[in-house]
A and B are shown apart, each in its own frame.
Chain A
């Protein structure tokens, strides 16, 4: 599904940007600022931050499946350390870590 122009590739360590812009966004609050890895590159999709405000969604944004260890996301996560949470995140929310 990758278009070959993706900035990140599977295995890359990333950090989710710690940002809080107004308007419609699809990056959950709990995952911002967290460090994980790119699991899959899903390809380009219309940008929901534009669509949500009646824009045309262009330019499209690269979408990634990003994995995180649960105990790196939640300080209180008491369960086995291998547990993971995966979130679909658009490229402009990611930076190298």
Chain B
């Protein structure tokens, strides 16, 4: 099997390192916190989250930002553990969009 998409040590073709640091947005702080709480409560293990990210499609993994990957893995684990479903999240997002209004 070729090297997997997350396993990048020594991979050729890596360029200069972007040293710009961005201020975390609220949703990123929230994603971080929810993820930690789920860990503290024993609902998910760090290695499960890692596995969920490792099983992501390579193109998706590479195209997402750090906390976007976390969000995808959090959703995978929560669905796996039958705590909530993708459809529930879709419905909730639609509800929010209606409430928040579109541009």
Contact = CB atoms under 8 A, between A and B. Distances in A.
A51 B45 contact: yes
A43 interface: no
A74 B3 CA distance: 16
Contacts of B45: 51-52, 54
Interface of B: 1, 3-4, 7, 9-10, 45-48, 50-51, 54, 80
For chain A, give the interface size range: 10 to 19
Interface of chain A, helix or strand or loop or mixed? loop
A83 interface: no
B3 A52 contact: no
B48 A54 contact: yes
23 contacts: A20-B1, A22-B1, A24-B50, A24-B51, A24-B54, A28-B9, A29-B3, A29-B9, A30-B9, A30-B10, A31-B9, A51-B45, A51-B46, A51-B47, A51-B48, A52-B45, A52-B48, A52-B50, A52-B51, A54-B45, A54-B48, A54-B80, A73-B10
